[in-house]
Amino acid sequence: MTKAEKVEFVINSLEELYPKTPIPLDHTDPYTLLIAVLLSAQSTDAKVNQITPLLFERASTPWQMVRLSVDEIREIIKPVGLSPMKSKGIYKLSHILIDKYNGKVPESFEALEELPAVGHKTASVVMSQAFGVPAFPVDTHIHRLMYRWNLSSGKNVVQTEKDAKRLFPKEKWNKLHLQIIYYGREYSPARGWDLEKDFITREIGRKSVIKEYEKKKTGK
């Protein structure tokens, strides 16, 4: 199977499995999405979705957020982890949004990545999911599957993103990155991985990955 055929197989398979791709993080507008994505760093969407209602009940706009102290924000978001850094970032970026953007989330990668605690992945998620701008945010699931599927070298997420953007049609990026995440969680997790269930990897996967899986399963 050529790489082009593999890409087509992935697209068709994921479209059949996940014709609809709801955004995993609960939010109501670009600002609440930005905060939710920031909170999701080294946490899970499920945990973030438990915490954001508590935070947004107190502050769902930049103006409301800056009325809270950093300590108050940190106390609310503590269960998601990295709360000292995240609380400072949320407080500072809310001030910047008010002072520089009239309280609105800017619609550019450059402006978003200049905000405290906002990296390239967070900016990419916001641009794609809030504003519909083509982007391919790479999380651990996408990084893992692009390697397992022999579509990227697995060196780092920067290279994985470049490969994904090069291989997949731009008009499919926003939906496809979510489809791959859903597939990774359901069919090809990092732990408890069952190759019998993971039909895409069985069909197009890297031979060394499949051999390593079989070796661990048989103990030989």
Cα–Cα distance between 73 and 87 in angstroms, integer? 6
The catalytic position among 6, 45, 86, 139 is 139
Reply yes or no on whether 121 is catalytic.
yes
Reply yes or no on whether 139 is catalytic.
yes
Decide if 23 contacts 48 (C-beta within 8 A).
no
Cα–Cα distance between 40 and 25 in angstroms, integer? 9
Amino acid at 53: P
Decide if 148 contacts 209 (C-beta within 8 A).
yes
The DSSP letter of residue 196 is T
Q: In angstroms, how far is the first alpha carbon of the chain from the final one? A: 29
Residue 134 burial (10 A CB sphere; 0-12, 13-18, 19+): middle
Decide if 56 contacts 111 (C-beta within 8 A).
no
| C-alpha 43 chain-centroid distance | 11
The catalytic position among 6, 45, 86, 121 is 121
Distances (CA, A) of 114 to 84, 105, 212: 19, 12, 41
Select from 43, 42, 45 the least CA-distant residue to 33.
45
The residues that are catalytic are: 121, 139
